[in-house]
Structure 1
Amino acid sequence: MKIKRADLEGSLKHYLQNLAIRAVFRMAFLLPYGPRVRTVGWITSRIIGPLAGYNARVAANLNYVMPDLPPREVKRLMRGVTDNAGRTLMEIYSGDAFVERMKSVPFEGAGVEALYAARDTRTPVILVTGHFGNYDVPRGALNAQGFNLGALYNPMRNPFFNAHYEQAIGTIGQPIFPRGRRGFARLLRHLSGGGMIGFLVDVFNGGGAKLSYFGKPAMTALSAAELALKYNALVIPIYGIRQEDGLSFKVQVEPPIAHTTPEEMTQALNDSLEAVTRQHMEQWFWIHRRWKPEKVARIDAKRAKKANLS
């Protein structure tokens, strides 16, 4: 079988990226937990962010949804967002040290009572968050406090990085399910048995519904809402919010989303994430390609053409 040059170049790029990341991690693990997390945040915001184009992407996203934001605030957020991203990754890789800290994380918000009641009655629950704060904090804190939470995750495109990434997130809590047919089937069995599962709502999904996020069209999967309606599960927004010291967290639990239509429920989830992001702008993953207006336009045109033909 002939191997394409592009495939070879892609594999080499992934291999070198993984080597660079692992080198940073090895150096960071020479430090105690606090300095380690702060150092990787600093490296990500001051070195990796500019070189990898993350700062430019943060600025482009902010300009798209908030074009009147002052340049000084954009610059602050470029550093703050990439710093939070670096800290998050280092925390996830800190294994037992991170898990130990999760045991004392406080739970706050109007949805806490519903969350504990669902655990005690074995009511199926779908917890929904976004790439905000440290998105693995709710899972780590819940598992540390005796909840039976399973999570669906996206395997990384870089296969070299993904191998140790799966091991790292698995240390924080089990079970975890890779996105795909088999993983989804296992996730459903966990939910139908009265378990809790976790979803991320802020991923661009070309086959999803065109909803709104920060006032702009955002293609969003309806999966969480559809499963909630099918299995009569609670849908609860939940967030791991980084505190001012940069190392500790609180888990904010919102009230369950009312069962209506998948579109209305998912828009409510988008609105919830937007609200908490506006309170902590540097904690959402503005590096994310959330909107993709060019793709949305193509999807609209394709759907319009299909509707005209039917």
Structure 2
Amino acid sequence: MRLLGWILSRLPPRVVAALGAALGWLAWQSRIRRRVVLDNLRLAFPEKTEAERRDIARRTYRNFGQMIPDFFRVPSLPREALEGIFVHDGWENFEAARALGKGVIAATAHFGNFEVLAAAHTLRGVPITMISREMGKSGANDLWRKARLRAGVEDLVVTKGSTLSAAIRSLKAGRVLGYVIDQNQPRRRAIFPTFFGVPAATAATPALLAMRTGAAVVFTVSVPLGDGRHKVVIEGPLAPPDTGDRDADALAFMQALNDRLEHWIRLHPDRWYWLHRRWKTRPEGEGAGVGGAAAAAALTRPDGAR
């Protein structure tokens, strides 16, 4: 992995981009999760034509392919090179959140090159902890975690029921807690804000942590600029509402975060990770929320798209 990162870090950016685009093209031609991607796009953009959605899908594969070599080369880049590839928009928002003195939760998503966000923050001396669910042993998982460690990220693997306690320990230690908000959740621990108008099973963890600890929340995404650089967008500081109804406040706050993410996806629809079955878990009774029937139809096709 180190050798691969070293080689990629010394290739011209246009060559690295071409290699990544070739990987993405190969994945598209191999039909890897293509039906999942197209079903997701039909759900999110019913107003678009099928040709428009397929164009977004092809560009999604290309962009994801280009992200892979970037993921390995960024930790191997010298500091001066790193400083040249990040453009910050809203760093003062992070400083304002940190100045509140209760810790910072960075709510992020699988958008743009989401893994380079860690390098952008550690470059500025910010200690990042990402919480991961316990996964089975595999070479791919081990490779991914080792690359995160090389980028200066603490990858905290938690077991069932220990997420909140592990997150609180990290915040008390002065680390910034990175939490992805766009992963499908099992129904037993999900709340259902809408995402593109359709209820989406979402972890309430960022909201619950903020309410319990007083930590400030920032919303952050990495937006590729197309020339090898990445714009790091930071919005906030944000705080959950405090109406006295804990469940309603958590739902409202996660809805607000979902809305921020949806805004960026609508601006750059080919930069989100459409390969994930985001709407797989359905609410009890399915009918809750606008689009529930459409979600069920798209995600229970008889041709194996599920």
Please confirm whether the aligned pair reaches a TM-score higher than 0.5, indicating the same fold. yes
- Asked if the contact 2:36/2:274 (under 8 Å) is kept, the reply is yes
Aligned match of 1:93: 72
Match of 1:192 in 2: 172
Aligned twin of 2:231: 250
* Matched letter for residue 196 of structure 2: F
Query: 2:98·2:216 contact (CA, 8 Å) conserved in 1?
Result: no
Distance 1:90 1:185, change over 3 A: farther
2:192 matched to 1:210? yes
Q: Distance in 1 between matches of 2:173 and 2:9?
A: 43
Quote how far apart the aligned CAs of 1:252 are: 0.6
Higher-helix-fraction structure: 1
Deviation at 1:185, TM superposition (A): 4.2
Q: Are 1:289 and 2:268 counterparts?
A: no
Give the whole-Å Cα distance in 2 for the aligned partners of 1:209 and 1:196: 24
4+ long deviations beyond 6 Å = none
Q: CA deviation at 1:186?
A: 4.1
Closer, same or farther: CA 258–120 of 1 in aligned 2, 3 Å: closer
Q: Does 1:63 align with 2:45?
A: no
Kept in 2, the 8 Å contact 1:208–1:222? The answer is yes
What SS does the corresponding residue of 1:250 show, helix, strand or coil?
A: strand
Counterpart residue identity of residue 69, structure 1: K
Q: The residue matched to 1:205 in structure 2 has which SS?
A: coil
Paired AA for residue 159 in structure 2: G
Shift of 1:95: 4.6
What are the superposed Cα offsets for residues 269-307 of structure 1, whole Å, 9 maximum, x if unpaired?
100000011111110011111012xx415x447x9xxxx
1:215-255 deviation line (CA, Å, top 9, x unaligned):
1110100001100110101111001111122x210111112
AA partner of residue 254 (structure 1): E
The 5-angstrom pairing of residues 266-277 of structure 1 reads 266-277=254-265
Q: In structure 2, the residue corresponding to 1:241 is in which secondary structure?
A: strand
Aligned to 1:221: 203
Superposed counterparts of 1:142-157, under 5 Å? 142-154=121-133
- Offset of residue 165 of structure 1: 1.4
- Confirm or deny: 8 A CA contact 1:50 1:56 kept in the other structure: no
CA contact (8 A) 1:257 1:268 kept: no
> 1:228 & 1:215 partners in 2: Cα distance?
25
Instruction: Check conservation: 2:9, 2:73, Cα contact below 8 A.
Output: no
Q: What residue number does 1:106 align with?
A: 87
Letter of the 2:200 counterpart: A
* Further displaced range: 83-92 or 279-288: 83-92
Q: Which amino acid aligns with 2:46?
A: P
- Runs of 5+ in structure 2 lacking a partner? 242-248, 289-306
Decide whether aligned partners of structure 1 residues 155 and 283 sit closer, same or farther in structure 2, where only a CA change above 3 A counts.
farther
- Partner residue in 2 for 1:9: none
Q: For 1:219, what is the secondary structure of its paired residue? A: coil
Identity %: 25
Letter in 1 for 2:237: P
Q: 1:170 aligns with which of 137, 149, 172?
A: 149
Label 1:209 to 1:107 Cα distance change in 2 as closer, same or farther (>3 A): same
Closer, same or farther in 2 for the Cα pair 1:138/1:81, shift >3 Å? same
AA in 1 matched with 2:39: A
TM-score, normalised to structure 2, is 0.79
Alpha-carbon distance in structure 2 between the residues aligned to 1:61 and 1:139: 27
Deviation at 1:43, TM superposition (A): 2.5
**Greater mean deviation of Cα atoms: 170-179 or 30-39:** 30-39
How many angstroms apart in 1 are the aligned matches of 2:120 and 2:133? 21
Q: Which runs of 5+ in 1 are unaligned?
A: 1-21, 304-310
When residues 224 and 102 of structure 1 are mapped into structure 2, their CA distance, relative to the original with a 3 A threshold, is farther
RMSD: 2.7
